[in-house]
Structures are given as C-alpha cells and as structure tokens.
Amino acid sequence: MSTARKRSTIAEFRKATKVKPPENVMRIMREQAQVRGAIVKALASGPKTIPEIAQATGMPVPKVAWYVLTFVKYKTLEPVEQTDEGYWRYKAASGRR
C-alpha cells in the first residue's frame, strides 16, 4: 500500500469532462440524507419498529422499510428484538458508519 497519496483523478476528471452531477441523483442524495437523519432522530428515544418509525417521521411505511433494511446492511442501524406481532425493533448501530 502506498504511503503518499496519488493525484486526485476526480479533480482531473471534472476538469477534463466539465461534466456536472446529474440533477436527479443530487436530489436523491439530498433526500436520502434527510431520510437518514429523520430515521436516526426517530430512534433517539429508543428502538422502534418500521411502522413506528414511519409514524414518527411521517414517511410512507414501505419507504421506511426499504431504507431501514438498507441501513441495516450498511451497519447504520441494527435490529434489536422482535415484537409479538412479528415486527423487528431497530436502533442506531453503535460505531455506525
């Protein structure tokens, strides 16, 4: 593994191509940052199920489900326990990335 950083290829790429980030992807990225923040904030008061997170954030349940399952994959969230109704409760992962 090298110790000295090589040149920034992204800077050269941007300079050479003059390409701008796609607006739709920028919009999605900004929205995702908000979703992540809202979910983590909702979980600050304790572990919650997906419908409970949806209720706390005002987001549709399927959308919350998709993000929660993705954030579990990326270790931002972790499952804690299962309720009698078959739902999992989630919390923000310790040492999350």
Partner 1 sequence: MSIRPKVLYGEPEELPEERYDVLVIGGGIAGMQASLDLGNMGYKILLVDKEPTIGGHMFKLSKTFPTMDCASCISTPRMAEVSHHPNVKLMTYSEVKEVWKDGEGNFRIRVFEKPRYVDPSTCTGCQECEFACPVIVSNEYDWGLSGRKAAFIPFDTAVPRIAMIDMDNCVFCGQCERACPADSIDFLQRPKWHTIRVKTVILATGFHLFPIEKKLEYGFGKYANVITSMQMERILAPTTSWHAIVRPGDGKEPSNIAYVLCAGSRDRTLGNPYCSQVCCMYSIKQAQLIAGALPLADVTIYYMDIRAYGKRYEEFFQQAKDMGIRFIKGRVAKIEDMDNGDLMVYYEDIENGGRLSKAQHDLVVLSIGLLSNPEIAGIFKNAELKLDMMGWIASPDENVNPVRTSIPGIFAAGTAIGPKDIPDSVVEGSAAAMEAAAYIEKVRAVKPVPAEARSEG
Instruction: Point out which residues bind partner 1 (CB under 8 A).
Output: 1-2, 5-6, 8-14, 16-17, 19, 21-22, 25-26, 28-29, 32-33, 49-51, 61-62, 65-70, 72-74, 79, 82, 85-88, 97
- The Cβ-side half-sphere exposure at 83, using a 13 Å CA radius, reads 12
Residues in contact with 40: Cβ distance below 8 Å, sequence separation at least 6, in sequence order: 76, 92
| In the complex, minimum distance from the CB of residue 41 to partner 1, in angstroms, rounded to a whole number | 18
What residue has token string 């929660």? 68
Q: Which is nearer to partner 1, 40 or 61 (CB)?
A: 61
